[in-house]
Amino acid sequence: MQQLYDERKEQIKKAAIRVFSRRGIPGTKISMIAQEAGVSHGLFYHYYTSKEDLFTTLIQEAVETSLAEFGNLHQASGTPLDKIRLMTEAMLDESGAPFFMLMHQARNSEGVPEAARKLIEQHPMSLYVDQLLPIFKEGQEKGEIVQGHPEQLISAYLTVLSGVMVIGEGYSIPPVDLLLRMVAR
C-alpha cells in the first residue's frame, strides 16, 4: 500500500510541475493537476491539502535539487566549458526545464504562497551565480570562456536560458552549441 501511495503522490507531483510551470499558480486549478495526473479531483486531497501546499513542496524540492546539481558541477569531469554545457543541457532538458520554469514562476508570478516566496527569497539567484563563479573563472583563465566580468556573464547567461524556457509554444529551443556561443571563446 505504501508503494502505491508513493507512486500516486509522485504522479501528482510530476503533473503539477508541468501544469504550474506552464500556467503559474494563479492560472492553475486542482482539477487541471488531477486531469494531467489521471486521478480524480477528490483523490488529490488525500495527498495535499491545497494547490498552495503542493506548490510550496515543489519549490522546496526544486531549490534543493537545483542547488545540489549546480554544486555537483564542480565534481563533474571535463573542462569548464564541458561543465557549462552539462548545466545548459540539464536546464533545457525535458525533465529539467519544468523545474526551472517552476522556480521562474515562483520568482515572478503573483499569488505565490508566502512559504514558497520565502524559500525563493532565501535562495536568490546570487547563490547560483556563486556556484558557477569558479567554473567561469577557470574557463576564462584557460581561454575557453570569453573575458569580462564573470558575475555579469553568468547572470546574462542564466537570463538567456530562463528566457529560452519561458518563450513558450511555437518557438523551438535553440541548440546548446548556439547558446554556448554567448560564453565560449
Q: How many CA atoms lie within 13 A of 180 on its CB side?
A: 20
pLDDT tens for each residue of 21-70: 888 899 999 999 999 999 999 999 999 999 999 999 999 999 998 888 88
Please give the mean pLDDT across all residues of the chain.
90
Cβ atoms of residues 39 and 48 within 8 Å = no
- Cell numbers at 98, concatenated: 519544468
- Cell numbers at 153, concatenated: 556573464
Give CA–CA dist 66/130, Å, rounded: 13
**For the ranges 68-72, 126-130, 137-141, the one whose mean pLDDT is highest:** 137-141
Give CA–CA dist 185/163, Å, rounded: 22
- Cell numbers at 48, concatenated: 495535499
- 52-180 under CATH 3.90.550.10, yes or no: no
Q: pLDDT grade, residue 110 (50/70/90)?
A: confident
Q: Which of 67, 169, 63 is nearest to 115 (CA)?
A: 63
Angle between helices 2-23 and 97-108 (to 10 degrees): 60
| Domain layout of the chain by residue ranges | 52-180
Q: pLDDT grade, residue 168 (50/70/90)?
A: low
The predicted model scores a pTM of 0.84
